[in-house]
Amino acid sequence: MDKNELVSRAKAYIEAEKDEGFRKEVEALIADADKNAAELEDRFYRSLEFGTGGLRGVIGGGTNRMNTYVINNATQGLANYFIKTFPDKAAKGGLKAVVAFDSRRYSDVFAEATALIFAANGFTTYLFTSLRPTPELSFAIRTLGCDTGVVVTASHNPPQYNGYKAYWNDGAQVIEPHDAGIINEVNAVTSVKTISRNEAIKSGKLILIDKEVDEKYWAMCKEQLFRPDLIKEKAGEVKIVYTPLHGTGAMHVEKVLGDLGLKVITVPEQREPDGTFHTVEKPNPEEAPALKMAVELAEKEKADVVMATDPDADRFGSAVPGKDGKYVLITGNQMGVLLTDYIITSRKELGKMPENPAMIRSIVTSPMVDRIAKANGVYLSECLTGFKWIANDMATFEKSGDHNYIFGFEESYGYNVETAVRDKDGVSAAAMCAEMTLYWRSKGKSLLERLQELYTTYGYFQDVSISKNFPGASGVDTMKAIMADLRTKNLTVLGGKKVEKIRDVQQSVLFDPAKPEAKETIKLPKSNVLQFFLEGGTVVSARPSGTEPKIKFYINSTVSSANGLDAAKAEADKLCGAIKQTIDDLLSAAK
């Protein structure tokens, strides 16, 4: 994009932006456009688009940044879409929205701007007065009977990011065709309606909320548990160290687990909300450095389990002590496997297994749960990455009546043990993990020991993820080229293993690379994902992130445990290493 067009876009943005700080950022850049050409291009080469998690971007001035201009346009477009989709309800003033926000910089500002635009467009709008988790926003939509909801959060991203997740009336994030429809409305916005806070409250269009939703949400989280009597009896035997990573989780996790009688020691340095996340590089419970302070406190307190939630408390991470007393991080796939096993075991033991039970996992999540589900007569549904797709399958089950949902998860530390929330829920996952820990403890086992038993029964699984970042406008083109190259290579071998099948979700096909002309049609919605199914059961997946400028590769390896777990682990290490090397070689060649 040439300099003149960039400057023209920047000036148009300055005219429209209401926030003085964001305006000044851009004014300073165009004052010396030649020197700042690369930065201007990054800020204005595109407008932020809805990805797997809605809007997400770096905070700052520009159309490719998170700011009041982008928030206002997104909200007006979202309001317009609902008004056009439900015209009779809109005409009667019956549309409702609810807005929540996390601890990030500008989250409260963006949330209030969102709420006031909804109110100005005739929506009865509920706004939490202080930060609340993403799963509570989903719960609030259903509890309050809202048509839509928004939570301002960038989840586990670094502190320079913020985001905006838009939800449908079922409490799930927006999916196709509504996402495309909303984008069209956003792009067509020429003016934004708004109203003052005082006027909105006086007119009844803005209603401030807190405990009326909090208390119902806490009760729901506790109602999902299977063994309240066991918790009451044994709660004193388990000590939990918890970190909310400066986010929204402390109030809820401490309340729910505390009500159950469990002792929760929260990392004091990370308990208070702080959008700079100053004690960690990234507030991501998927990564070991984020749990460092919690693990250190757990070692001091001799805790039985470490728990962590990300800033909007939808993701849940954990660690437990091994036999040597050193804490072992449990991966997202491993926790999903443990919860799958525990939920199925509990439902069977207590006679609570519904007819035609079903669980859902994303296509890049470990297929180990497939084996557990099959062995227990539970239907396993695969869906695209992003919890909105798990929620979509959940809704499909309810509409058809063919299956009854019991659990859903994805490898990126997202779990859902309930139907009242249509998103991942770190708070209810923490409660279920606590109960699971107590249950296996009552059987004389740790979570790690139960995991080893599952590996012995179902085979050893090892999961590796690789992320390669490609920032800026050129990065988008590079990622497209890499995915195109992977498609045209038609790989027949990966890491020394034969590729038996390739699933190209973008092209909606499954085929044997040795016979590429014989293609089967798959039913998944189109998405830029390639999967390679190797001999022996290992799956390798490639997909560009929907929210960040990177390509992710997932290795879900499996080997037989017939010769013992040590031998299986050594074989899996070797296999994953070989596949990783192949991926590195392919990326180097693509550059």
Question: Where do we find the tokens 């109203």?
Answer: 195
Tell me the C-alpha distance between 13 and 511, whole Å.
47
Tell me the C-alpha distance between 343 and 209, whole Å.
33
Bridge partners (DSSP) of residue 541 are 531, 554
Bridge partners (DSSP) of residue 126 are 98, 207
Active site residue 412: no
For residue 169, give both structure tokens.
Answer: 């009336």
The answer to whether residues 123 and 79 touch, using CB atoms and an 8 Å cutoff, is yes
Of 67, 234, 21, 300, nearest to 164 by C-alpha is 67
Tell me the C-alpha distance between 464 and 552, whole Å.
11
Tell me the C-alpha distance between 115 and 75, whole Å.
9
Question: Where do we find the tokens 């209401």?
Answer: 18
SS3 580: helix
My answer on whether omega of the bond before 354 falls inside 30° of 0, hence cis, is: no
Q: What are phi and psi of 175, to 5 degrees?
A: -125, 180
For residue 184, give both structure tokens.
Answer: 């069209």
The answer to whether residues 191 and 411 touch, using CB atoms and an 8 Å cutoff, is no
Q: What are phi and psi of 415, to 5 degrees?
A: -135, 150
Question: Where do we find the tokens 């999961």?
Answer: 463
**How far, in Å, are 128, 212, 376, 493, 512 from residue 254 at the CA level?**
19, 18, 34, 50, 51
Q: What Rg value do the Cα atoms of the chain yield, rounded? A: 24
The answer to whether residues 102 and 153 touch, using CB atoms and an 8 Å cutoff, is yes
Tell me the C-alpha distance between 338 and 571, whole Å.
23
For residue 334, give both structure tokens.
Answer: 């491993």
The answer to whether residues 570 and 478 touch, using CB atoms and an 8 Å cutoff, is no
The answer to whether residues 218 and 107 touch, using CB atoms and an 8 Å cutoff, is no
Tell me the C-alpha distance between 136 and 209, whole Å.
12
Q: What are phi and psi of 207, to 5 degrees?
A: -120, 120
Tell me the C-alpha distance between 490 and 586, whole Å.
12
Amino acid at 298: A
54: which DSSP letter?
B
Tell me the C-alpha distance between 456 and 95, whole Å.
54
Q: What are phi and psi of 72, to 5 degrees?
A: -60, -45
Which one of 155, 446, 527, 561 is the catalytic residue?
155
Bridge partners (DSSP) of residue 520 are 510
Active site residues: 155
